[in-house]
Amino acid sequence: MKTSLAAVPYFWTQQAYQDFYHQVAETDIDTVYLGETVCSKRRSMTLQDWIDAGIFLQGKGKQVVLSTMTLLEAESELSYLKKVVQQKEFLVEANDMSAIQVANQAGKHFVSGNAINIYNNQSLSLFHKLGMTRWNIPVELGQQDLKPVIPKAQELGVELEYQVYGRMPLAYSARCFTARHHDLPKDRCQFKCKDDVEGIPVKTREGDSFAQINGIQTQSGKVSNLLNHWQKLYAAGIDYARIVPVAPDTTLQVIKSLTQATANNQPLVDFTDDSREYCNGYWFQMAGLEMIA
């Protein structure tokens, strides 16, 4: 089974990104996604910075994919999207339909991000015709949901990618929840999300984990964790086990543990972190916040 690292969903400094990816380069991860997927105001890394990071990672034997924004709200964002899609160095992860349209018009293949609504064989076939070569499966689809779809993907030659670690992306909004949390207007947010290395936790009145605020993105409060079920995913037909970054140190530990397990065909991944709450219910056709050992 191959492993992949999703684009960092949080807003870090340029130095933090560079330090992180220099360490990622020394791991055995197969594929690394790069780029800003949440908010266009996060500009600590330019497109050229991302391309330079990709060239460096590629030189270390990684497949590099450039990820696009998930929610576009301005002409300037569409212009940036076109530059990402039309660059010639790397494959692109298309996270909204405009990216798919631009890629199709340019005759380029793409990875479909998990924000793209593909739930059946008809949609799968349509997106394959448009140029999709890999499908990053929406987190809410479980093993039974995928049983009729996986054979079709294999018939079409579409690779399948499923999230095994990280907070789940639940929703995107034109409103910035981080700015709202700090009582600031969105256009004068003071880049407050840079203060939170992995977002702001939201609890219920009873004190239970509910969600994670990440700018305009809402994530799951609990961290999705299917690490110890990677062999079941592989047996089901999943090609890539996808890690969504949290804090840098923890993410690097997860990469090391998972790649070691897959390389040695170990059923259990040697990773523990009691500082976070976990869930994986969706894969087992249960409520997403449930955790199956």
Q: In angstroms, what CA-CA distances link 261 with 32, 144, 240, 272? A: 18, 25, 14, 14
Q: Which tens digits make up the pLDDT trace of 164-200?
A: 999 999 999 999 999 999 999 999 999 999 999 999 9
279 is in an annotated binding site: no
Q: How confident is the model at residue 24 (pLDDT cuts 50, 70, 90)?
A: very high
Confirm whether 128 is domain-assigned: yes
271 assigned to some structural domain? yes
Query: Confidence class of residue 258 from pLDDT cuts 50, 70 and 90?
Result: very high
Strand partners, 211: 202, 220
Contacts of 146 (CB under 8 A, 6+ apart): 137, 236, 237
Q: Using pLDDT thresholds of 50, 70 and 90, give the confidence band for residue 267.
A: very high
In a domain, 191, yes or no: no
Question: Which pairing describes strands 159-172 and 240-243: parallel, antiparallel, or unpaired?
Answer: parallel
What gap in Å lies between CA 92 and CA 22, rounded to an integer?
21
Q: Is 213 inside any structural domain?
A: no
Per-residue pLDDT band at 114 (split at 50, 70, 90): very high
pLDDT of res. 270: 95
Q: Is 189 annotated as a binding residue?
A: yes
> Is 206 domain-assigned?
no
Query: pTM above 0.95?
Result: yes
Question: What CATH number has the domain bearing residue 14?
Answer: 3.20.20.70
SS (H, E, C) 244-278: CCCCHHHHHHHHHHHHHHHHHCCCCCCCCCCCCCE
Distance CA 108, CA 47 (A): 19
Q: Is residue 200 part of a domain?
A: no
| 41-93 pLDDT, tens digit each | 999 999 999 999 999 999 999 999 999 999 999 999 999 999 999 999 999 99
Classify residue 209: in a domain, yes or no.
Answer: no
Q: What is the pLDDT of residue 117?
A: 93
Which domain, by its residues, includes 13?
2-166+221-284
Q: Which residues contact 24 (CB under 8 A, 6 or more apart)?
A: 5, 32, 57, 62, 252, 255
Question: What is the spatial distance between Cα 18 and Cα 30, in angstroms, rounded to a whole number?
Answer: 18
Residue 75, in any domain of the structure: yes
* Number of domains the chain is built from: 1
- The pLDDT score that the predictor gives to residue 269 is 96
